[in-house]
Structure 1
């Protein structure tokens, strides 16, 4: 029981740490669909470990999908302090593995590219952030401390401390220093209206 309470507290702390709009643990516990999906998944994942409970685990996952808009297969392995911000449309496949302190935004897919019964979904390391609408497909590995940009499509491994952006995603070192751009040099889109 203490382990469950510790996990709930950690998940609530992750929500407060990752979302500047988070106001209180009580409010977050009531209204954050990402937290509801994670907590339901933690129960379904334990059920999935018992072969006789795999059917009910899938039913629980589908009920959670109906209520939250977040689909997490009960077979997916998820680490501590996982947070889904604005979760609608998130899909996490059966063989996905997610490390600790990972954050996903809405519309993220951790999907497969094969119908074979093998490891077919991504593995995300610790402290990975995945932007809105990103698709990470296949048994790729995203290394620790990496970021996947919004709407990126990742089909190859991403080394640790990297940033992957674009379609298909290109990868660069997170530590790479780029010259700063003066924002006053940008063209104002309003001039075309």
Structure 2
């Protein structure tokens, strides 16, 4: 009798378990896409030209369609100096003239950066060297890119030139900034 009672109990439990409603559990997967901004960077060393001791470093950093250039320069005469982007990355000549003229892909007159009457994309501007001959300049713009292939914006294959004097922003085509005292090709 004990066997039958145990058997009936087991059968009852099995039937009640089968009668229970099956619940479906849905698991949804969520894909989260995080966009990482690509940062492009070019760091170049300035080399002395025109029998000077001018040197330094220039860093170009592109992020979110904006390029920031920061130049730290030493070995200058105290006072105001011009800095420009020139059309070729060739700094092989002793006076820096192998770099060509100012980079001017849009055919504008020489002028001050942001001037309504026009300016070269290479017309960065002037900076001050202190009494020890050290100077810095920084500019941020969406007018440049690093390696994007747009001939009117791409600074790769160009050069940075530091001049002995200040840019007057009016003399054509170069601003009468004097000798080229330092040069570096903008290459990756």
Structure ID, larger Rg: 2
| Higher RCO structure (Cα 8 Å, ≥6 apart) | 2
Which structure is higher in strand share? 2
Which structure is higher in helix share? 1
TM-score (structure 2 length as normaliser): 0.26
TM-score (structure 1 length as normaliser): 0.25
